[in-house]
């Protein structure tokens, strides 16, 4: 049976202030991991509220905004911004002041399902990103969206849909990151996919949007099933969906590796890692704020979040870690090179995202405390920088009057100095220049690689150079060079989020402590042990600094030597278009569609094919069941005993069966009906010899009416019509086919029926009770009392069927008019 | 007896399935009748005991036939009969509207009708 744990040890992160904090960094508060049996988690109202409040606020944001939007379109943006801000504030409060917490309610106790949420380090990190960047994006969209709709001549009433879905995205992200029950995780996981589907397809009139949305939905939705499979595998083995319990009880082995691998694949597909990366650049069909959100804090981040969440299970297998290394590095390189060859701004950023999450997966693959913690730090740094860059891309396009290509933009530095400065900070952050939070992300990245040893630092160096190069291309392409046309001024609500994100990138490069402490807390959850990291500037020639210097030097070289490799990058991207996984996706999609059409036509083409479509699967299923059960039940088939008293019964049976078979022979309809009633009346005799006078009487009645009915219908139809029907289409071929199908059905039916009838008689039966109770119901006929009393509801159902059949017949005979 | 009953039920079912494969609506209805007869006999045969009719006063010490399956068979017979009547009504309706009870002819007639409707259809 299932090993259902009785004691739940929730891992809690508690804040210890004062004397404990004095040893280490006193600037940021120390976080501790407590998992001891003697100290159960504290369920004070405060810690409960710390979880419930952010979750509830994030989840109600979407419905509230949709409601406000339906009442008055103009209310959408303010309500959306306000609810997102409240959710962000609640998460911030819940983590920084209330110190996190957990709630755990029974959900479906018989399946050991629990509504378990916890605001732990990992959840806090991603929830802050989801709500914080969500807030920035919603604020930006309040100005961007009206412009976007104006370009497309769409009404303002389309606005609430956008805000509602983006906030639904936010809510499901917050739910996802807090959920501790794998089934809950799966539900929120799919909710994010649904939200992303509607957001990517927001410009519904464009085929490209619909195609891309479907692609994102299919790629992430089909792989989401793997998450469910992994969860079910663990549940079957350990009897619980709760991650903390699973982490404690699951034992390393092939089974756990397989389950963790399924969940990791779901995460990799959502994070657009090779070979699932093709959906992400396509998803750029969405409006810019959606892309910004999708890439930095929602959809794609959810993938690496999941890996971080189940990392304690993943890291039990060195094979999985190595696989993550390979996939991460492949994504890093493929995404980086393709980013170098793209001309459309958002495409460049999309490939950069693939590459950047490749870093994160690579770090998870490197393993060790540095790998786990650095991965989380990387997500923060990337989210801040990438969302700012996407919003910049949208702003540049808006300002230039709709230009999306890098080769047609340039020289905006003078016209948009603030935009240039903020996005410069963000680009520097992504390129890991000093004095930005990005510098530390690469410092930790190199540290993790060095911890693992050669050749990983060289691979890391390669990835970092690629990043530096394409970021340089992006920023200089927009802001430097000659001016192209006039640049329109941008509204403050669009510039403000970019500026704030840019400033945060710089602030993180100077005051890294709060980010580092959040990362340590998150890393602790992933690594299931403490992960001390100490990002700082060191003015010496330690290996990490050497690698950083090498990045800058070699990056500059690559930038200068652009003409030498630009062609090669283009060729690489062409090869990808011809041989890449997107072709396989299209191929399998059209193939499946055709297959489904084929099956559909096979099934519903004619009545005959429909009957065959029922009979054949039935035969296969029964046959398969028999095959499976055959070894165990070989002895069960019994011939039964025949007594002399049974002879009349046997005679009637033989008559019934022979007459039935004979009914397949005659051409003439009249003969057919007479043979049928011969079989039917013999059957009534069988019922009589079976000791069932009630059944026999009713059967005689029914057979009589049926015979009359059949004869009457035949009499109503002209003989010419019947003649045609008798002769048409009865070739030897069709006859043979009919007998083959009939014979095969008979064999399968025989095996099934014989097996069922051979089962031994149980000791007790309901019938015995019925017989005993019949006198109490004031009846002598037990069958009658069963029909009218004990199983009266069956009879009611039967009468209903007769009534419906009657209505149908009446409607058919009166051409659909009943009165 | 078990073997004989199973054989009889299988023959009824097989004969019914054979008739279902024909292209004549009347034969298809007859096939359905045979299949429901097979089902009824199967329910009847799956009774736990066989003996005297389950009527009071019960004979002392002798076996009584299982009354429960009889009640169920009765229900099944009546339902089967109403379905048969409905099927016959459909066949009759098909004859009235399309002047045939033959599947291929019916299909052709249906296609003709559809293409005529298609012809009449104008977008605006």
Asked whether residue A240 is assigned to any structural domain, the reply reads no
Contact by Cβ (8 Å): A420, A414: no
User: Residue A806 has what pLDDT?
Assistant: 93
**A679 CB near a chain B CB, below 8 Å?**
yes
**A650 CB near a chain B CB, below 8 Å?**
yes
User: Residue A17 has what pLDDT?
Assistant: 36
Q: How far is CA A528 from the centre of its chain?
A: 26
User: Residue A36 has what pLDDT?
Assistant: 33
- Top-confidence range, A1-10, A464-473, A549-558, A650-659: A650-659
B118: closest CA of chain A, how far (Å) = 20
A702/B90 Cβ within 8 A: no
Question: Which conformational region is residue A119 in: left (phi greater than 0), alpha (psi within -120 to 50 degrees), or beta?
Answer: beta
Q: State the complex-level ipTM.
A: 0.93
**A767 CB near a chain B CB, below 8 Å?**
yes
CATH assignment at residue B35: 1.10.287.3510
User: Residue B60 is encoded by which pair of tokens?
Assistant: 């002392």
pLDDT at B1 over 50: yes
A278: closest CA of chain B, how far (Å) = 39
Asked whether residue A682 is assigned to any structural domain, the reply reads no
Q: Give me the percent of chain A exceeding a pLDDT of 90.
A: 22
**B26 CB near a chain A CB, below 8 Å?**
yes
pLDDT in tens, A344-360: 888 888 888 899 899 89
User: Residue A170 has what pLDDT?
Assistant: 93
The last residue of a domain, from among A560, A590, A624: A560
Arithmetic mean of pLDDT, A468-481: 84
Domain count, chain B: 1
User: Residue B123 has what pLDDT?
Assistant: 54
The whole-angstrom separation of Cα A742 and Cα A738 is 6
Q: For residue B109, what are the domain limits? A: 2-54+61-120
pLDDT at A617 over 90: no
The whole-angstrom separation of Cα A346 and Cα A352 is 10
**A725 CB near a chain B CB, below 8 Å?**
yes
User: Residue A380 has what pLDDT?
Assistant: 87
Q: Give me the percent of chain A exceeding a pLDDT of 70.
A: 93
Pairing relationship of beta strands A101-108 and A113-119 according to DSSP bridges: antiparallel
Q: pLDDT band for position A818 (50/70/90)?
A: low
Burial A404-427 (b: 16+ CB within 10 A, else e): bebeebbebbebbeebbbbbbbbb
Arithmetic mean of pLDDT, A25-31: 34
pLDDT at A171 over 80: yes
- Residue B11: which residues within 8 A CB-CB, separation 6 or more? A657, A658, A660, A661, A746
Torsion from C-alpha of A739, A742, A745, A747, nearest 10 degrees = -60
pLDDT in tens, A671-705: 999 999 999 999 999 999 988 899 999 999 999 99
Please indicate whether residue A244 or residue B40 has the higher confidence score (pLDDT).
B40
At A551, give phi and psi (nearest 5°): -60, -50
pLDDT at A205 over 90: no
Bridge partners, residue B64, by sequence? B52
Q: What residues of chain B lie within 8 A of the CB of A765, using their CB?
A: 48-49, 66, 68
Contact by Cβ (8 Å): A401, A485: yes
Asked whether residue A481 is assigned to any structural domain, the reply reads yes
Query: In the 8-state DSSP scheme, what is residue A480?
Result: S
A754/B6 Cβ within 8 A: yes
SS3 content of chain A, % helix, strand, coil (to 5): 75, 5, 20
Domain count, chain A: 2
Q: What residues of chain B lie within 8 A of the CB of A661, using their CB?
A: 11, 14-15
Query: In the 8-state DSSP scheme, what is residue A37?
Result: T
Q: Is A117 helix (H, G, I), strand (E, B) or coil?
A: strand
User: Residue A344 has what pLDDT?
Assistant: 84
Arithmetic mean of pLDDT, A663-670: 89
Q: Which residue has the tokens 């982490």?
A: A247
The last residue of a domain, from among A510, A528, A560: A560
Contact by Cβ (8 Å): A353, A272: yes
Write A208-216 long-range contacts (CB < 8 A, 24+): A208/A285, A209/A285, A209/A286, A211/A282, A211/A285, A212/A279, A212/A282, A212/A283, A212/A284, A212/A285, A212/A286, A213/A283, A213/A285, A215/A278, A215/A279, A215/A282, A215/A283, A215/A585, A216/A279, A216/A280, A216/A282, A216/A283, A216/A299
Q: Is B24 helix (H, G, I), strand (E, B) or coil?
A: strand
pLDDT at A97 over 70: yes
A783/B71 Cβ within 8 A: yes
B121: closest CA of chain A, how far (Å) = 23
Contact by Cβ (8 Å): A313, A260: yes
pLDDT in tens, B4-38: 999 999 999 999 999 988 888 899 999 999 999 99
Q: How many A/B residue pairs have CB atoms within 8 Å?
A: 296
A621: closest CA of chain B, how far (Å) = 17
Q: pLDDT band for position A713 (50/70/90)?
A: very high
Q: What residues of chain A lie within 8 A of the CB of B8, using their CB?
A: 653-654, 656-657
Asked whether residue A346 is assigned to any structural domain, the reply reads no
At A178, give phi and psi (nearest 5°): -90, -20
The whole-angstrom separation of Cα A464 and Cα A459 is 9
Burial A292-314 (b: 16+ CB within 10 A, else e): bbbbbbbbbbbbbbbbbbbbbbb
Arithmetic mean of pLDDT, A30-38: 34
Mean pLDDT for chain A overall: 83
At A154, give phi and psi (nearest 5°): -110, 155
pLDDT at A15 over 50: no
A639/B10 Cβ within 8 A: no
Q: What is the DSSP string of A372-433?
A: HHHHHHHHHHHHHHHHHHHHHHHHHHHHTTS--BGGG---TTTT-HHHHHHHHHHHHHHTT-
**A412 CB near a chain B CB, below 8 Å?**
no
The whole-angstrom separation of Cα A679 and Cα A7 is 67
Q: What is the DSSP string of A324-343?
A: HHHHHHHHHHHHHHHHHH--
Q: pLDDT band for position A30 (50/70/90)?
A: very low
Q: For residue A779, what are the domain limits? A: 763-819
Asked whether residue A145 is assigned to any structural domain, the reply reads no
User: Residue A676 has what pLDDT?
Assistant: 94
**B59 CB near a chain A CB, below 8 Å?**
no
The last residue of a domain, from among A560, A594, A622: A560
Q: What residues of chain B lie within 8 A of the CB of A801, using their CB?
A: 79, 82-83
Q: What residues of chain B lie within 8 A of the CB of A601, using their CB?
A: none
Q: pLDDT band for position A819 (50/70/90)?
A: low
Residue of B7, B18, B96 best to disrupt the A interface, most CBs of A under 10 A: B18
Bridge partners, residue A119, by sequence? A101
Asked whether residue A469 is assigned to any structural domain, the reply reads yes
User: A286 vs A201, A394, A495, CA distance in Å?
Assistant: 7, 11, 20
Contact by Cβ (8 Å): A759, A636: yes
The whole-angstrom separation of Cα A318 and Cα A256 is 12
A753/B66 Cβ within 8 A: no
User: Residue A365 is encoded by which pair of tokens?
Assistant: 């693959």
**B62 CB near a chain A CB, below 8 Å?**
no
pLDDT in tens, A264-321: 999 999 988 888 888 888 888 788 888 888 877 788 889 999 999 999 898 888 899 9
Q: Which of B8, B20, B66 sits opposite A611 (nearest CB)?
A: B20
């Amino acid at each position: 049976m299932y090993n259902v744990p009785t004691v739940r040890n929730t891992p809690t992160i508690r804040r210890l202030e004062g004397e404990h904090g004095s040893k280490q960094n006193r600037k940021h508060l120390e976080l501790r991991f407590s998992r001891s049996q003697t100290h159960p988690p504290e369920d004070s109202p405060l810690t409960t509220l710390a979880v419930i409040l952010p979750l509830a606020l994030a989840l109600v944001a979407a419905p509230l905004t949709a409601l406000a939007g339906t009442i008055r379109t103009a209310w959408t943006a303010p309500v959306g911004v306000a609810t997102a801000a409240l959710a962000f504030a609640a998460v911030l409060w819940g983590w920084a002041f209330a110190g996190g917490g957990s709630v755990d309610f029974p959900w479906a106790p018989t399946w050991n399902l629990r509504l378990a949420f916890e605001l732990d380090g990992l959840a806090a990190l991603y929830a802050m990103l989801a709500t914080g960047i969500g807030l920035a994006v919603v604020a930006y969209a309040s100005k961007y969206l009206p412009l976007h709709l104006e370009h497309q001549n769409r009404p303002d009433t389309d606005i609430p849909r956008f805000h509602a879905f983006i906030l639904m995205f936010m809510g499901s992200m917050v739910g996802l990151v807090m959920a501790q029950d794998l089934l809950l995780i799966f539900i929120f996981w799919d909710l994010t996919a649904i939200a992303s589907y509607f957001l990517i397809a927001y410009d519904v009139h464009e085929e490209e949007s619909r195609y891309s949305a479907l692609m994102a939905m299919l790629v992430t939705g089909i792989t989401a099933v793997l998450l469910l499979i992994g969860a079910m595998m663990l549940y079957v083995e350990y009897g619980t969906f709760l991650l903390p319990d699973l982490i404690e009880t699951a034992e390393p082995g092939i089974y756990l590796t397989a389950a963790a691998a399924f969940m990791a694949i779901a995460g990799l597909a959502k994070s657009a890692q090779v070979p699932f990366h093709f959906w992400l650049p396509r998803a750029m069909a969405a409006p810019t704020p959606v892309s910004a959100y999708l890439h930095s804090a929602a959809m794609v981040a959810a993938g690496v979040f999941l890996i971080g969440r189940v990392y304690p299970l993943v890291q039990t297998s060195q094979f999985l870690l190595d696989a993550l290394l390979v996939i991460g590095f492949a994504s890093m390189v493929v995404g980086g090179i393709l980013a170098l060859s793209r001309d459309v701004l958002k495409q460049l950023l999309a490939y950069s995202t693939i590459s950047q999450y490749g870093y994160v997966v690579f770090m998870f693959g490197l393993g060790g405390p540095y790998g786990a913690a650095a991965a989380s730090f990387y997500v923060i740094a990337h989210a801040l920088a990438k969302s700012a860059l996407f919003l910049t891309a949208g702003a540049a396009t808006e300002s230039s009057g709709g230009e999306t290509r890098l080769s047609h933009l340039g020289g905006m530095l003078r016209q948009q100095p603030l935009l240039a400065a903020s996005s410069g900070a963000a680009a520097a952050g992504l390129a890991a220049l000093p004095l930005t939070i990005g510098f530390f992300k690469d410092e930790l990245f190199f540290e993790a690689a060095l911890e693992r040893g050669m050749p990983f630092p060289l691979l890391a160096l390669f990835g970092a150079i690629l990043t530096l190069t394409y970021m340089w291309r992006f920023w200089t392409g927009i802001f430097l060079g000659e001016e192209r046309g006039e640049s329109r001024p941008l509204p403050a609500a669009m510039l403000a989020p970019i500026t704030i994100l840019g400033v945060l990138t710089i602030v993180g490069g100077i005051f890294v402590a709060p980010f580092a402490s959040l990362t340590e807390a998150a890393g602790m959850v992933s690594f299931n042990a403490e992960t001390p990291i100490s990002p700082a500037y060191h003015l010496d020639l330690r290996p990490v600094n050497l690698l950083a210097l090498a990045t800058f030097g070699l990056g500059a070289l690559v930038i200068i030597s652009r003409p030498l490799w630009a062609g090669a990058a283009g060729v690489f991207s062409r090869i990808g278009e011809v041989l890449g996984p997107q072709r396989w996706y299209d191929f399998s999609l059209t193939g499946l569609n055709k297959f489904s059409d084929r099956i559909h036509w096979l099934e519903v083409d004619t009545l005959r094919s429909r009957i065959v479509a029922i009979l054949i699967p039935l035969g296969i299923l029964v046959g398969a069941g028999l095959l499976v059960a055959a070894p165990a039940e070989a002895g069960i088939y019994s011939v039964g005993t025949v007594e002399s008293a049974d002879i009349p019964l046997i005679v009637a049976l033989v008559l019934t069966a022979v007459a039935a078979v004979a009914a397949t022979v005659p051409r003439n309809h009249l003969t057919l009906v007479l043979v049928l009633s011969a079989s039917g009346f013999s059957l009534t005799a069988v019922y009589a010899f079976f000791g069932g006078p009630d059944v026999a009487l009713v059967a005689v009645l029914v057979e009589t009416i049926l015979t009359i009915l059949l004869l009457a219908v035949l009499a109503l139809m002209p003989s010419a019509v019947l003649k045609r029907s008798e002769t048409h289409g009865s070739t030897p071929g069709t006859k043979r086919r009919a007998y083959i199908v009939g014979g095969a059905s008979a064999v399968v039916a025989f095996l099934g029926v014989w097996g069922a009838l051979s089962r031994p008689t149980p000791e007790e039966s309901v019938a015995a009770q019925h017989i005993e109770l019949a006198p109490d119901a004031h009846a002598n006929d037990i069958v009658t009392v069963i029909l009218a009393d004990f199983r009266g509801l069956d009879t009611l159902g039967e009468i209903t069927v007769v009534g419906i059949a009657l209505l149908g017949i009446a409607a058919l005979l009166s051409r659909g008019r009943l009165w | 007896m078990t073997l004989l009953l199973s054989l009889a039920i299988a023959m009824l079912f097989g004969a019914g399935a054979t008739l279902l494969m024909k292209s004549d609506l009347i034969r298809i209805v007859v096939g359905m009748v045979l299949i429901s007869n097979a089902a009824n006999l199967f329910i009847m045969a799956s009774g736990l005991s066989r003996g005297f009719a389950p009527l009071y006063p019960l004979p002392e010490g002798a076996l009584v036939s299982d009354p429960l399956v009889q009640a169920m068979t009765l229900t099944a017979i009546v339902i089967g009969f109403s379905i048969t009547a409905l099927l016959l009504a459909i066949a009759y309706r098909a004859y009235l509207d399309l002047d045939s009870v033959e599947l291929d002819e019916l299909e052709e007639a249906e296609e003709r009708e559809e293409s005529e409707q298609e012809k009449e259809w104008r977008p605006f």
